[in-house]
């Protein structure tokens, strides 16, 4: 029976032929083998938090919501195996019981871990990689219905699998590299932008996590830092402390366990040294042209470089800049106007947020693109995991 | 239900300008619901504002984003609803005209 589905913001709406909710690895394998045999296609919907048509299909939509939870752990090595449909919130809660914490998380805790890893979702912290860097092994069913065990030593496969947009297969288990349970202290300050910007590099380098929101309607900045309790630096004398909280890392790193307000988002990830130059240009453009329509804040974060072939942080220490706009107000025009600034600064788009790049443009941004595409063809020769957008981009 | 209507909203594009609503709640905590009316499209709302007991709350209308940011330099009207009696003051800062940089007045609710 067909099912209508939409992403969380409502900008992507489609009708899938059917929705299947497997409960086990064997069921996933059967579904893929059946699709491969019959020439059908599948997409996993995750939490439907993506703003790009990654999970859109007119064929079979898969929900892994029944495959959730941490299944084993090792406190000696600070690792855990979890199921792919585990939400970030559930992962944090279950790791707490096992005296483990994630090294970093994003702001939102609604995503499934497989989707967050597969799209290169990230938090902030110049010494901390995106969520995909937690993945050190696991099990995946490829497009032929074969079970692939990914070992920590298989660097090529891991680098391809981490940020893979569900193109290589469906994960049935994910082994994560974690840390012993620890606490973080979150602090948030408000300060005028021009009082803040000269201090940004020191704030980034001397806090475990630091990011900031810039508000176009009042030109204020909200600086957010997270550190081991008692550590960290705030060097902006005019900054007014607005909020502080100490808790276990998994309860501090994310801030939203629900999102009531529907908004659209564009995010580009740039070489670290381009970050401030690019942000100043974006701020100038927003103040001159978009302030009338845009009340939403812009977000500036940092990410450690990594080796994942399709990671926007591949090979370079990274800054991300995000634009937001209410989904009920003009957002396409806003994003299209700012996007060339990001591109001028060698930006790579977040895979799960709005962008307008073609296959040719994307390929030019990723030095290991062809390595990934080669492996995709090997893992999914019949294109079981392709939809029209992904086919256009990766074949 | 108490209801206030402020028909003459307009937030200037100037970075230093803005429309503000101040609430004085001399009672238990309550919520205020705001509805924004436009010239050429449907009303947007409610915008929910939490009013703590025995506290002042100053709201900058240009900074609202949930459910939708207000569009600057366009006429709008505000309807405010509360279930309890509170005191409401609307004020405007418009530094684009130095001779009328601040104006405001207290509104009394219609019950």
pLDDT tens digits, A379-390: 999 999 999 999
Choose from A192, A295, A327, A331 for mutation: most chain B CBs within 10 A. A295
pLDDT at A8 over 80: yes
d(Cα A27, Cα A188) in Å, to the nearest integer?
46
Enumerate the residues of chain B whose CB falls inside 8 A of the CB of residue A9. Answer: none
Q: Do the chains contact at B67 and A296, CB–CB below 8 Å?
A: no
SS (HEC) of A103-156: CCCCCECCCEHHHHHHCCCCCCECCCCCHHHHEEEEEEECCCCCEEEECCCCHH
pLDDT tens digits, A23-57: 999 999 999 999 999 999 999 998 888 899 999 99
pLDDT at A10 over 90: no
**Residue A177 confidence (pLDDT):** 98
Calculate mean pLDDT across residues A185-204. Answer: 96
**Residue B13 confidence (pLDDT):** 87
* Whether A267 contacts A52, CB under 8 Å: no
Buried b (16+ CB within 10 A) or exposed e, A203-219: bbebbbbbbbbbbbbbe
Question: Strands B2-10 and B75-82, how do they pair?
Answer: antiparallel
Q: What's the ipTM?
A: 0.87
**Residue A65 confidence (pLDDT):** 96
Tell me which residues of chain A, numbers 249 to 268, contact chain B at a CB-CB cutoff of 8 Å: 260-263
**Residue A255 confidence (pLDDT):** 79
Nearest to A292 among B13, B18, B60 (CB): B13
DSSP string for residues in A26-94: HHHHHHHHHHHHHT--EEE-TTS--SSTTS--SSEEE--TTS-SEEEEETTTTEEEE-TT-BHHHHHHH
Strand runs labelled E in chain B: 2-10, 18-25, 30-38, 44-51, 55-60, 75-82, 87-93, 102-107
In this prediction, residue A172 has a pLDDT band, given cuts at 50, 70 and 90, of very high
HSE-CB at A54 with a 13 A cutoff on CA atoms is: 25
Calculate mean pLDDT across residues A5-31. Answer: 94
Q: Considering only alpha carbons, which residue of chain A is nearest residue B68? A: A326
CB neighbour list of residue B100: distance below 8 Å, 6 or more residues apart: B94
Enumerate the residues of chain B whose CB falls inside 8 A of the CB of residue A298. Answer: none
Enumerate the residues of chain A whose CB falls inside 8 A of the CB of residue B66. Answer: 260-261
* Whether B44 contacts B38, CB under 8 Å: yes
d(Cα A41, Cα A55) in Å, to the nearest integer?
11
Q: Is A282 in a helix, a strand, or coil?
A: helix
pLDDT at A160 over 80: yes
Enumerate the residues of chain A whose CB falls inside 8 A of the CB of residue B62. Answer: 217-218, 295
Enumerate the residues of chain A whose CB falls inside 8 A of the CB of residue B71. Answer: 292-293, 329
pLDDT at B96 over 90: no
């Amino acid at each position: 029976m067909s099912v209508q589905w939409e992403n969380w913001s409502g900008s992507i709406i489609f009708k899938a032929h059917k929705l299947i909710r497997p409960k086990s690895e064997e069921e996933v394998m059967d579904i893929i083998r059946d699709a491969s045999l019959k020439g059908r296609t599948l997409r996993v919907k995750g939490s439907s938090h993506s703003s790009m048509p990654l999970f859109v299909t007119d064929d079979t939509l898969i929900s892994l919501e029944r495959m959730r939870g941490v299944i084993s752990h090792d406190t000696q090595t600070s690792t855990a195996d979890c199921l792919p449909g585990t939400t970030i919130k559930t992962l944090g809660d279950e790791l707490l019981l096992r005296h483990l914490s994630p090294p970093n998380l994003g702001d939102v805790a609604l995503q499934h871990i497989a989707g967050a890893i597969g799209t290169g979702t990230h938090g902030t912290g110049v010494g901390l990689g995106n969520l995909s860097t937690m993945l050190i092994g696991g099990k995946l069913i490829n497009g032929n219905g074969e079970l692939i065990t990914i070992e920590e030593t298989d660097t090529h496969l891991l680098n391809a699998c981490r940020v893979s947009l569900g193109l290589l297969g469906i994960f049935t288990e994910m082994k994560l590299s974690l840390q012993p349970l620890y606490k973080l202290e979150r602090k948030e300050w408000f300060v005028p932008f021009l009082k803040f910007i000269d201090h940004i590099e020191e704030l980034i380098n001397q806090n475990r996590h630091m990011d900031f929101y810039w508000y176009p309607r009042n030109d204020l900045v909200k600086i957010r830092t997270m550190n081991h309790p008692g550590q960290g630096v705030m060097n902006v004398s005019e900054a007014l402390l607005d909020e502080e909280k100490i808790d276990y890392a998994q309860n501090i790193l994310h801030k939203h366990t629900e999102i009531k307000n529907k908004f659209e988002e564009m995010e580009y990830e740039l070489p670290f040294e381009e970050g401030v130059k690019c942000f100043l240009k974006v701020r100038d453009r927003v103040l001159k042209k978009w302030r009338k329509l845009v009340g939403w804040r812009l977000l500036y974060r940092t990410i450690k470089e990594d080796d994942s072939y399709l990671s926007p942080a591949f090979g370079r220490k990274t800054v991300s800049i995000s634009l937001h706009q209410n989904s009920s107000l003009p957002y396409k025009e806003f994003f299209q106007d700012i996007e060339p600034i990001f591109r001028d600064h060698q930006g790579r788009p977040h895979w799960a947020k709005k962008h307008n790049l073609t296959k040719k443009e994307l390929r030019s941004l990723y030095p290991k693109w062809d390595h990934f595409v080669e492996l995709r063809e090997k893992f999914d020769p019949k294109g079981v995991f392709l939809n029209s957008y992904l086919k256009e981009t990766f074949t | 239900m108490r209801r206030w209507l402020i028909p003459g909203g307009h937030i200037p594009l100037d970075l230093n300008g803005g429309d503000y609503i101040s609430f004085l709640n001399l009672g238990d905590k309550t919520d205020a619901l705001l509805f924004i009316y436009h010239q050429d499209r449907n009303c947007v709302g409610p915008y929910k504002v939490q009013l703590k007991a025995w506290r002042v709350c100053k709201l900058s209308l240009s900074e609202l984003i949930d459910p939708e940011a207000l569009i600057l330099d366009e006429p709008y009207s505000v309807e405010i609803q509360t279930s309890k009696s509170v005191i409401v003051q609307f004020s405007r800062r418009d530094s684009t005209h130095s001779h009328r940089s601040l104006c405001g007045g207290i509104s009394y609710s219609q019950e």
